[in-house]
Homo-oligomer: A and B are copies of this chain.
Amino acid sequence: MAENPLHRLMNPGSIATVGAGNNILKMGTMHALSIINDGYRGKIFPVHPHQNTVLGLDAYRSIADIPEVPDLAFIVVPSVEVIKIIEEFGKKGTKSAVIITAGFGEMNEDGRLMQDRLNELSGQYGIRFLGPNCMGIINSQISLNTTVMPYTSAPGSLGFASQSGTYVTQTIPYLERNGIRFSKAISVGNSANIDIIDALEYLGEDEQTRAVSLYIEGIRDVERFIDVARAITPHKPVLAQYVGGSSAGARSSLSHTGSMAAPDHLYDGLFRQAGIIRVESIEDLYRNGNMLANQPCLNGKRIGILTNSGGPGSAIANALERGGLDVPEFSKEVQDQVRPLVPPHAPCGNPVDMTFSMDIENLSNKIPEIILKSGEVDGIVIHGVMGTGWLKAVFPHFNSVMKDVTLEGLLAGFSDKSGSAADYIPVYNKPVSISSFIDREDNYTASYHDHGVPVFDSPEKAAGGMIMMMRHREIRERKPWTRPASVPAPAGAVRILEQCSAKGQANLDEHGSKLFLKEWGIPVTEEIVAATEEEAATAAEKAGYPLVMKASAGDILHKTGRGLIHLDLKSKDEAVASFRKIQQAAGRSVPVIAYRMVSGEREFVAGLVRAPGFVPSVMFGLGGVFTEALNDAVFRPAPISEDDATEMLFDIRARALLGAFRGMPAVHVEALAKVLHRLSLIPIAHPEVAEIDLNPIIIDGSEPVAVDALVVLK
C-alpha cells in the first residue's frame, strides 16, 4: 500500500508560499501570517514577483529562485495561475501542495478541466495536493496552522477532516472557548487529489489523534471509505456528520465542493457498516469527538451522577437511561461514605445531589473519588462544579456590602489547590463527563479543559457524551471484519439474465426472478408454470394445497388488487377457476405460476437499491403490503458479510419479531442473514442488475422464504 500522502504534507520541514504579500487584508497574506506567527519552526520561503521581503521574511522572485526544495507549496493565487505554479513546484521537486484557491470543480466545466490538469501534473511530478477550494491544515504537534485565523491552543487529541473550510477556520474562537483541541485538522476542499478518505486513513494512523470527526458532503469511493474506516473504528472512535441527504442539502453541497450526494438512509447504512457514529450537528462533531478523544473507554453501562442541583441531576439521569445507560442506586456502603460530605438529607442514592453547596472540594474531588473507587460505576457525570466563575458572577453583590474587597483579592483567597475529578481518571481508568453553565472564566472549567476533560454547557449534553462512549464501546466489540470476497456468477443465473435480455425485457418475470435468486442460494417458493387450464390443474395437484396462483409476466410489476393473485386455493377446481380469472383480469393470455402457499404471520422485505453516485445497497425491513407505510427499513452498501447482515437485521425498529414472538419460534437469523449477504454479492457479479425486491419474505416456521420477487435490469 502506498504511503498516505498526508504524512508528508502535514509535516513539512519547509514551506513555500505563493500569493502572500504585505497587504494584510489579502487572503494569501492572512494564511501566511498564521504559518509565520503560530509557532511553526520550519523554514518559510515567500515567493513574490515584486517584493524583496514579505511579512518580514526574505522573498523570492520565483519558485526556481528558492534556494532549496521546499517540502510544501502553499498556494493562494487566482485560479488561472494555479496550474502553472503547480508545474513549477513539480519541476522544483516539491512533493506536497495545499491549493487554497477556489473556482475549480465546484464551479463549472472549465473548473473541472483545470482540476483534471492538476491531477495530471500530480501524476507526472509525484506532487500530491490538498484542495483546491480549501482552508489548509492545522498540525498542533508542530504548531503549524495554515488557516486564516490564529490557532494557538495546546496540542489536542481530536483529529478533524472536513469538506467545509469553515470548520477548521471560522470556528476556532468557538473551539478555544469550549476547550476543544485538535491534534490535526484537514480541510479537504474539492478533494481533487487528496480526499477525505486519505484524511481519515492518515488520522487513523496518527498516534496523537485519539478520535476522528468528519464533516461530509459526499463520499466518492464508498468501498475504500468502508475499508479504511473498518480498520480504524475497532480501536479509535470516528464520528461523522453528513448534510447531503436532503434535496436542499444536496443542492448546496454540489455548489459548495462539487460533491455528489446520496439519500440519508444510504449514508446511515454506510456509517453503520463503517463503524462510524453519525451525529447531526457540528456541535456534536466537535464536543463528542473531543469527549471520545480525551477519555478512557467506557467498559460497562453503570453511570454515577454527582450534582449541586436536583434539576440537572434529574435531566442527566433521564438522558442517560433513555440513551441506554444505567443509573444504579449506590450501595448502602457508598451512600454512608458520601453522606457526611453533603448537607443533611441531600439525596445520596445516585444522583448524589449536594444542593447549592459551598463545599466545592467535596463536589469537585472527594465524592467523585468515593464513587469512582467504589467499583459500582463504569463512569461518572458531574454537574455544577464552579469556583472563580461563580465568585466573579456574585462579586458585584459582595462588593456592595464589603467595599474594600476587590475581585482580585476574592479570587486569590479562593484558589483551590485540591485538584478535581480529572485527577482520578488515570487512577481508575473510567470516563468523566462534566456539565457546567459557567465557561472558561471559571477555574474549574478551565482546568478541566486543560486536562482534556470535556465540559458540556448543559446537563443533557454531558449525558450525551457518555452515551457516545457507550456507542463506541459497542463498535469496539464488533467481530473482526474482512471485505466479503466476490463470487463468480452461477452459470444458471447468467443464463437466465441472457435469456431475459435476448427477449428485450427490462426485468425478469416473477418466476424468472425466483429461479435467478435460487441460483444464488436464496430460498424462494418452488413453482410450477402453467400456460393452460390443463397445466394449471396438473400444477395444482403437484404443488399441493393450500395453493397460490399468480400471473407471471415481465411486464406485470404490480399484481396486488388487480385480480392477478389468488391465495389459499383448496382444490383443483378452485385452481382452474383461478387460472381463468387471471387470464380475464390480465385481458390477455399470461403464464401462471402455482406454488403451495407459505404460511407465517411474519413478513419482511429485502432487496437491492441503487442511487446515482453511490454503490448498490442492500435493503432489509418489515414487509408485506404495508412496507411503505411502516417505513421500517435499513440499508447497507454492498457487499456485506453474514455478520454485517446479522447486525443489519437487528437495526429495524421491529427487531423483536426476529426472536420468539407470541408463540412463534425465533426466526432462523443465520438463514435470513445469508439472504442479505447473497443479495449483496449479486450486483458485483451481475452489474446489469439494477434493483431487486423480495417482498414479502415470509417466515415459515423459522425459515425465510421469498414468496414474491422482482429482478429489474438496467
A residues 421-459 near B (Cβ < 8 Å) are 437-439, 441, 457-459
Query: Is residue A246 contacting chain B, with contact meaning CB distance below 8 A?
Result: yes
| Contact in complex: A243, B321 (CB < 8 Å) | no
Given A36-B400, A310-B255, A317-B251: A663 in contact with B561 (beta carbons within 8 A): yes
| Contact in complex: B282, A315 (CB < 8 Å) | yes
Query: Is residue A479 contacting chain B, with contact meaning CB distance below 8 A?
Result: no
| Contact in complex: B662, A561 (CB < 8 Å) | yes
Given A170-B384, A393-B172, A458-B281: A321 in contact with B356 (beta carbons within 8 A): no
CB neighbours of A102 from chain B (8 A): 355
**A543-560: contact bitstring with B at CB < 8 Å (1 yes, 0 no)?**
000000000000000001
| Contact in complex: A318, B243 (CB < 8 Å) | yes
| Contact in complex: B353, A166 (CB < 8 Å) | no
CB neighbours of A631 from chain B (8 A): 653-654
Q: Could you tell me the distance between the alpha carbons of A351 and B37 in the complex, rounded to whole angstroms?
A: 35
Considering residues A320, A437, A460, which has the most beta carbons from chain B within 10 angstroms of its beta carbon?
A437
Query: Is residue A64 contacting chain B, with contact meaning CB distance below 8 A?
Result: no
**Min CB gap A73→B, angstroms:** 21
CB neighbours of A653 from chain B (8 A): 630-631
CB neighbours of A55 from chain B (8 A): 400-401
Count of this chain's copies in the oligomeric assembly: 2
Given A280-B460, A282-B460, A356-B27: A310 in contact with B252 (beta carbons within 8 A): yes
Given A310-B256, A347-B256: A393 in contact with B173 (beta carbons within 8 A): yes
CB neighbours of A255 from chain B (8 A): 310, 347, 349, 353
**A650-666: contact bitstring with B at CB < 8 Å (1 yes, 0 no)?**
00011111000111100
Task: Number of A interface residues at 8 Å Cβ cutoff, please give it.
Answer: 121
Query: Is residue A389 contacting chain B, with contact meaning CB distance below 8 A?
Result: yes
| Contact in complex: A253, B314 (CB < 8 Å) | yes
Q: Which residue of B lies closest to A383 (CB)?
A: B166
| Contact in complex: B246, A150 (CB < 8 Å) | no
Q: Which residue of B lies closest to A245 (CB)?
A: B318
| Contact in complex: B317, A246 (CB < 8 Å) | yes
| Contact in complex: B177, A327 (CB < 8 Å) | no
CB neighbours of A132 from chain B (8 A): none
| Contact in complex: A327, B460 (CB < 8 Å) | no
**Min CB gap A259→B, angstroms:** 9
CB neighbours of A345 from chain B (8 A): 103, 107-108
Given A24-B397, A396-B150, A400-B37: A601 in contact with B625 (beta carbons within 8 A): yes
CB neighbours of A656 from chain B (8 A): 628-629
**Min CB gap A208→B, angstroms:** 24
| Contact in complex: B314, A243 (CB < 8 Å) | yes
Query: Is residue A33 contacting chain B, with contact meaning CB distance below 8 A?
Result: yes
CB neighbours of A280 from chain B (8 A): 319, 460
**Min CB gap A468→B, angstroms:** 15
Q: Could you tell me the distance between the alpha carbons of A312 and B174 in the complex, rounded to whole angstroms?
A: 14
| Contact in complex: A458, B401 (CB < 8 Å) | no
Query: Is residue A295 contacting chain B, with contact meaning CB distance below 8 A?
Result: no
**A14-25: contact bitstring with B at CB < 8 Å (1 yes, 0 no)?**
000000001011
**Min CB gap A328→B, angstroms:** 9
Contact partner of A282 (CB less than 8 A), chosen from B252, B389, B459, is: B459
Given A148-B394, A281-B458, A314-B249: A402 in contact with B167 (beta carbons within 8 A): no
| Contact in complex: A177, B396 (CB < 8 Å) | no
CB neighbours of A245 from chain B (8 A): 318, 322
Q: Which residue of B lies closest to A325 (CB)?
A: B248
Query: Is residue A164 contacting chain B, with contact meaning CB distance below 8 A?
Result: yes
Given A102-B355, A249-B317: A150 in contact with B397 (beta carbons within 8 A): yes
Sort A-B residue pairs by CB-CB distance and give the 7 closest, nearest first. Answer: A164-B311, A561-B663, A249-B318, A256-B310, A166-B309, A248-B327, A248-B317
Q: A165-B311, A166-B384, A251-B317 are in contact. List 10 more A-B contacts (CB 8 A).
A: A166-B308, A166-B311, A166-B312, A246-B322, A253-B310, A255-B347, A281-B460, A282-B458, A283-B460, A561-B663
